[in-house]
């Protein structure tokens, strides 16, 4: 008690000291020369029209990054270099491509969909560039930003994503975050129109320690009022979210929030001194020894992207001169300069800023790797070097331009999917930055700067492959791409209407993956002979990604994102423990709002409320692996599809009517913490021989499907992750029926594999996909799957993939779905037991004696006996019976011999 009091007192004193310091005016000196050098370098990367190629591909440029570059140039006093950007957005009418959905599907009413954070960011850009914010690309951005701030309901005060068309309200999810919130406060403060609701909502996201979190997660509540959703949830405060692990600290969010509070205070808002002091105190306490700061979850290491934003905010707040000076030194330690780099590979890149000093040092000898990363890092770092706060920038307080615009563009990449989500280029975590609302996860990554849209990865001889590029310091830009449907073309031309989704799609492999088109597949690199089978397969799968983060498929001349195959690929690489950077990139791609809406909700073609169980389930697992905040909401959406009988029923015109055991098993896995009646429903479908049928509507069956059985075993065994070993007794909460069903199902899986761990087809050829899923399920149950791993390892082809069917009968060409399905078998384990898995097995075989006796009952005796050792009394009883039979046989033989001898004697 006394220690808690003393700690609280110490914190209060420290905040008071900081507050006192903030009343002064002393600030650290910026380095305008370094900022200007970076602006000159950034200008050479712009196309003549002021655009930057979207590294994720697509017809539309990376608007969010363009605005970051604009901010950097004006902060450095080089605003004239940003004139092409402002002209492209305003006079040429492309701003609406960024803050509405109209740029992707014109003429379909999506100009009524407003992305709140992008609107706020565009408002600030209009102000910084000296244009009229009330008439920018024909829009009053002040009014639009105010309209994006909800005035009532659960999101009251949030700068929100919404639609003006009530007919499509259910299509648009509000994924606005702290970046959009802060930029909305800044933009309105700059025109002298502080919005108290927005300021108050921003303050709710500050935790008592002083930091801000990035997202606005919902939590269950028993409160009543219009701030509560119909299903009993509300937007949590930062402190309310901490017990549920919903409030991790985020340096980027804290930095931009500080800038917003300072802007609002300068515009006349009151009551902000204490929150500002707490923020500064937290930032000062979390500066690294080297002077830098990190971002949020996954980007904790010091980097120039986060440091630039934080230094800008601290310099604007005042009273932290020493920390600011130290931060500036950190930024400059990662910048190419004439004194140090005139004679090396950075001689032609002077002014460029790397993601961190280590990346800068590497580039001095190897050159810039991952150009997009350097652009993002430099744009954000320049704000810290120039030390011009956002409020001053928006009010025109930067120095006038000092030079003309460079018209030297860089080589652009091919276009791909129309999204403005930034991508990053690194093995390090992808940071966030000053920008606007994003989807749950803000960035994706790519590992190359060539002109192709796919990357090629060489596996290392070790068990995992590591990349050396740094992450793109993403600008956390708004992902305002309208979600594709299920599947929806992800590459419509910017001024043509995308076709409606069709019910028929490319045939699936046994894993559910669809075959990507040849154009989406890069030629694989040569694989070193010393690489493991897992490493080679991991590289093969990575090389099949478009843009380094997703799978595509072409149908009828239209290219679609295959979200399902992308999710399967993430889990496959998790099982292999390979390509962690690819896993991070693809996970971030899948968890962006447009991907979630397209994959799990069929947007924008479905009506309001559409939802699909299997996609939601896979997204839950991907999110939980990545420790993404969106996992809770995805699970809540999935649970809504579960009926009182335990069945998960899709909603929507494109709902999956093929209710398979595999689909149901995915849903059970994603709701393992509270599966409700879903487990009992699964148990009720088990066949007499211990297998499970392919379809969930099969009420009675003699024998089922091995693939479905493997899926059911995985679902039955799973529990939320714990470090405790799987039990050899009946786990707590399990019924005897569940134990019996599990034992018999695992026993049934042991019938088909050969001595080499392979399941064969009718002609005796190895079934790669089925062998892999059976091996994974048996491994979950505690049985050895190494035989399958060895056998499949021998079938890996030169490019790291697998052929479809028998190798001898094939043309040698590898097949992506087969290769994807093989991953768990090659690894010799399930993704469920991989590192960082959100689940773990609750039970393992063999069971202890009492549990075996309970398990081998009813119709399951024969199947269970195949796996469980027999009780000693039964074994010895059989031995005794065999002995008696042997003795009887000996006596019988003796009598027969005497009878024969007597019968043959002469009378």
pLDDT in tens, 510-533: 222 222 332 332 333 333 445 789
Q: Which of 355-364, 488-497, 808-817 has the lowest mean pLDDT?
A: 488-497
* Predicted confidence band of residue 806 (pLDDT cuts 50, 70, 90): confident
Highest mean pLDDT, choosing among 14-28, 59-73, 392-406, 858-872:
59-73
pLDDT of residue 764: 78
**The model scores a pTM over 0.75:** no
* Predicted confidence band of residue 880 (pLDDT cuts 50, 70, 90): low
pLDDT, one tens digit per residue, over 730-788 is: 999 999 999 999 999 999 998 666 668 899 877 778 899 999 999 999 999 999 888 89
* 32 within some domain: no
Mean pLDDT in residue range 482-506: 30
pLDDT, one tens digit per residue, over 822-854 is: 999 999 999 999 999 999 999 999 887 555 445
Mean pLDDT in residue range 186-214: 97
Instruction: Determine the Cα–Cα distance for residues 308 and 292; give it in Å rounded to an integer.
Output: 9
* 83 within some domain: no
pLDDT, one tens digit per residue, over 230-239 is: 999 999 999 9
What integer best gives the mean pLDDT of the chain?
80
Mean pLDDT in residue range 704-719: 96
pLDDT of residue 83: 97
* 608 within some domain: yes
Closest CA to 403 of 39, 67, 65, 71: 39
Tally of structural domains, the chain: 2
Give CA 21 to chain center in angstroms: 41
Q: Do 134 and 184 meet the contact criterion of CB atoms below 8 Å apart?
A: no
pLDDT score of 15 more than 50: no
Provide the token pair at 465.
């492959």
* 862 within some domain: no
Tell which wins on pLDDT, 100 or 506. 100
Highest mean pLDDT, choosing among 400-404, 469-473, 848-852, 867-871:
848-852
Instruction: Determine the Cα–Cα distance for residues 7 and 780; give it in Å rounded to an integer.
Output: 46
CB contact burial 73-105 (16+ within 10 A = b; e otherwise): bbbbbbbbbbbbbbebbbeeebbbbbbbbbbbb
Mean pLDDT in residue range 446-470: 33
pLDDT score of 408 more than 90: no
* 487 within some domain: no
pLDDT score of 449 more than 70: no
pLDDT of residue 888: 57
pLDDT, one tens digit per residue, over 102-137 is: 877 777 778 899 999 999 999 999 999 999 999 999
β-strands 558-561, 552-555 pairing: antiparallel
Q: Do 447 and 487 meet the contact criterion of CB atoms below 8 Å apart?
A: no
Which residues, including other chains, have CB under 8 Å from residue 422's CB and lie 6 or more apart?
A: 55, 56, 62, 64, 65, 372, 376, 442, 443, 444, 472, 474, 475, 476, 477
Which residues, including other chains, have CB under 8 Å from residue 574's CB and lie 6 or more apart?
A: 583, 625, 831, 834, 835, 836, 837
Closest CA to 377 of 486, 474, 246, 481: 474
* 573 within some domain: yes
Q: Do 72 and 387 meet the contact criterion of CB atoms below 8 Å apart?
A: no
Which residue's structure tokens are 């498929």? Answer: 553
Q: What is the CATH number of the domain that holds 753?
A: 1.50.10.20
pLDDT of residue 754: 67
What's the burial of 147, exposed, middle or buried (CB within 10 Å: 0-12/13-18/19+)? middle
- State what percent of residues in the chain have pLDDT above 70: 74
pLDDT of residue 883: 58
Which residues, including other chains, have CB under 8 Å from residue 299's CB and lie 6 or more apart?
A: 252, 306, 428, 429, 430, 431, 432, 471
Looking at 366, 384, 402, which one is the last position of a domain? 384
pLDDT score of 445 more than 90: no
Which residues, including other chains, have CB under 8 Å from residue 616's CB and lie 6 or more apart?
A: 600, 634, 635, 637, 638, 641, 667, 670
pLDDT score of 865 more than 70: no
What's the burial of 1, exposed, middle or buried (CB within 10 Å: 0-12/13-18/19+)? exposed
Q: Which of 24-33, 292-301, 365-374, 753-762 has the lowest mean pLDDT?
A: 24-33
Looking at 334, 355, 384, which one is the last position of a domain? 384
Q: Do 714 and 575 meet the contact criterion of CB atoms below 8 Å apart?
A: no
pLDDT of residue 398: 60
pLDDT of residue 489: 30
R_g over Cα of the chain: 31
pLDDT of residue 885: 58
What's the burial of 568, exposed, middle or buried (CB within 10 Å: 0-12/13-18/19+)? buried
* 566 within some domain: yes
pLDDT of residue 370: 85
Q: Which of 225-234, 410-419, 584-593, 612-621 has the lowest mean pLDDT?
A: 410-419
* Predicted confidence band of residue 256 (pLDDT cuts 50, 70, 90): very high
Q: What helix, strand, coil percent values describe the chain, rounded to 5?
A: 45, 5, 50
pLDDT score of 222 more than 90: yes
pLDDT score of 641 more than 50: yes
- Phi first, then psi, for residue 553 (nearest 5°) are -140, 145
Mean pLDDT in residue range 296-301: 84
pLDDT score of 564 more than 90: yes
Domain limits for position 752: 533-855
Which residues, including other chains, have CB under 8 Å from residue 287's CB and lie 6 or more apart?
A: 293, 323, 326, 327
Closest CA to 61 of 25, 95, 87, 27: 95
Which residues, including other chains, have CB under 8 Å from residue 837's CB and lie 6 or more apart?
A: 574, 625, 721, 831
* 636 within some domain: yes
pLDDT score of 409 more than 70: no
* Predicted confidence band of residue 605 (pLDDT cuts 50, 70, 90): confident
Mean pLDDT in residue range 321-327: 97
Which residues, including other chains, have CB under 8 Å from residue 440's CB and lie 6 or more apart?
A: 175, 215, 591, 592, 593, 596, 623, 628, 629, 630, 633
pLDDT of residue 657: 81
């Amino acid at each position: 008690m006394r220690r808690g009091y003393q700690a609280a007192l110490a914190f209060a004193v420290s905040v008071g000291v900081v507050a006192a310091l903030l009343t002064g005016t002393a600030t650290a000196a910026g380095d305008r020369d370094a900022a200007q050098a970076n602006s000159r370098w950034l200008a050479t990367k712009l196309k003549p029209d002021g655009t930057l190629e979207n590294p994720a591909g697509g017809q539309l440029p990376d608007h969010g990054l363009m605005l970051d570059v604009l901010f950097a140039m004006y902060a450095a006093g080089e605003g004239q270099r940003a004139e092409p950007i402002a002209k492209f957005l305003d006079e040429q009418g492309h701003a609406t491509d960024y803050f509405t959905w109209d740029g992707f599907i014109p003429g379909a009413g999506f100009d009524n969909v407003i992305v709140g954070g992008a609107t706020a960011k565009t408002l600030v850009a209009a102000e910084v560039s000296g244009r009229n914010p009330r008439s920018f690309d024909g829009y009053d951005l002040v009014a639009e930003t105010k309209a994006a701030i909800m005035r009532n309901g659960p999101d009251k005060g949030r700068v929100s994503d919404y639609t003006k068309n009530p007919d499509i309200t259910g299509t648009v999810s509000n994924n606005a975050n702290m970046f959009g919130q802060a930029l909305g406060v800044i933009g309105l403060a700059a025109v002298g129109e502080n919005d108290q609701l927005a300021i108050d909502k921003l303050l709710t996201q500050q935790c008592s320690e002083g930091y801000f979190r990035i997202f606005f997660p919902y939590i269950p509540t028993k409160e009543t009022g219009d701030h509560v959703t119909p299903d009993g949830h509300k937007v949590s405060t930062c402190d309310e979210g901490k017990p549920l692990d919903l409030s991790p600290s985020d340096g980027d969010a804290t930095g931009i929030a500080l800038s917003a509070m300072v802007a609002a205070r300068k515009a006349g808002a009151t009551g902000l001194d204490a929150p500002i002091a707490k923020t500064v105190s937290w930032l000062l306490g979390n500066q690294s020894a080297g002077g830098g700061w990190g971002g949020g979850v996954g980007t904790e290491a010091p980097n120039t992207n986060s440091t630039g934003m934080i230094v800008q905010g601290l310099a604007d707040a005042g009273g932290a001169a020493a920390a600011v000076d130290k931060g500036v030194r950190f930024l400059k330690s990662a910048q190419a300069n004439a004194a140090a780099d005139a004679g090396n590979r950075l001689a032609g890149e002077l002014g460029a800023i790397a993601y961190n000093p280590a990346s800068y040092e590497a580039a001095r000898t190897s050159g810039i790797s991952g150009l997009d990363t350097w652009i993002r890092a430099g744009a954000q770092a320049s704000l810290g070097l120039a030390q011009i706060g956002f409020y001053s920038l928006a009010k025109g307080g930067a120095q006038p331009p000092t030079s003309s615009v460079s018209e030297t563009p860089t080589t652009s990449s091919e276009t791909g999917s129309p999204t403005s989500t930034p991508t990053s280029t690194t093995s390090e975590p992808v940071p966030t930055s000053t920008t606007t609302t994003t989807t749950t996860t803000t960035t994706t990554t790519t590992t190359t700067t060539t002109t192709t849209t796919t990357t090629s990865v060489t596996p290392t001889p070790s068990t995992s492959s590591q990349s050396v590029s740094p992450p793109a310091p993403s600008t956390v830009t708004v992902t305002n791409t309208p979600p594709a449907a299920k599947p929806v073309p992800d590459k419509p031309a910017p001024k043509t209407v995308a076709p409606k989704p069709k019910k028929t799609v490319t045939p699936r492999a046994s894993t559910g993956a669809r075959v990507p088109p040849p154009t989406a597949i890069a030629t694989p690199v040569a694989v070193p002979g010393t690489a493991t089978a897992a490493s080679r397969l991991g590289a093969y799968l990575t090389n099949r990604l478009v843009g380094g983060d997703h799978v595509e498929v072409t149908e009828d001349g239209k290219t679609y994102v295959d979200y399902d195959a992308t999710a399967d690929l993430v889990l496959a690489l998790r099982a292999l423990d390979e390509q962690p950077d690819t896993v991070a990139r693809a996970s971030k791609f899948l968890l962006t709002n447009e991907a979630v809406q397209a994959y799990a909700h069929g947007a924008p073609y479905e009506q309001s409320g559409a939802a699909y169980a299997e996609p939601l389930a896979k997204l839950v697992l991907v999110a939980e692996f990545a420790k993404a905040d969106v996992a809770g909401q995805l699970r809540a959406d999935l649970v809504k599809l579960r009926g009182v009988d335990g069945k998960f029923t899709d909603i929507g015109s494109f709902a999956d009517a093929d209710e398979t055991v595999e689909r149901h098993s995915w849903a059970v896995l994603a709701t393992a913490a509270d599966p409700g009646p879903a487990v009992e429903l699964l148990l009720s479908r088990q066949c007499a021989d211990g297998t499970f049928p392919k379809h969930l509507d099969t009420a009675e069956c003699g024998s089922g499907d091995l693939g479905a059985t493997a899926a059911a075993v995985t679902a039955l065994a799973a529990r939320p992750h714990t470090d405790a070993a799987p039990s050899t007794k009946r786990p707590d909460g399990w019924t005897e029926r569940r134990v019996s069903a599990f034992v018999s199902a695992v026993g049934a899986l042991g019938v088909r594999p050969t001595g080499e761990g392979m399941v064969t087809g009718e002609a005796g050829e190895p079934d790669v996909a089925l062998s892999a899923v059976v091996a994974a399920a048996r491994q979950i149950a505690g049985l050895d799957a190494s035989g399958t791993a060895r056998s499949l390892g021998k079938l890996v082809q030169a490019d790291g993939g697998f052929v479809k069917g028998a190798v001898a009968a094939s043309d040698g060409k590898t097949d992506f779905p087969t290769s994807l399905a093989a991953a768990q078998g090659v690894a010799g384990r399930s993704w469920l037991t991989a590192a960082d898995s959100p689940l773990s097995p609750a039970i393992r075989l063999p069971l202890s004696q009492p549990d075996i006796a309970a398990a081998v009952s009813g119709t399951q005796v024969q199947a269970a006996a195949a796996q469980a050792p027999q009780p000693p009394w039964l074994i010895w009883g059989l031995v005794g019976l065999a002995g008696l039979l042997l003795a009887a046989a000996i006596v019988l033989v003796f009598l027969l011999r005497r009878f024969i001898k007597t019968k043959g004697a002469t009378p």
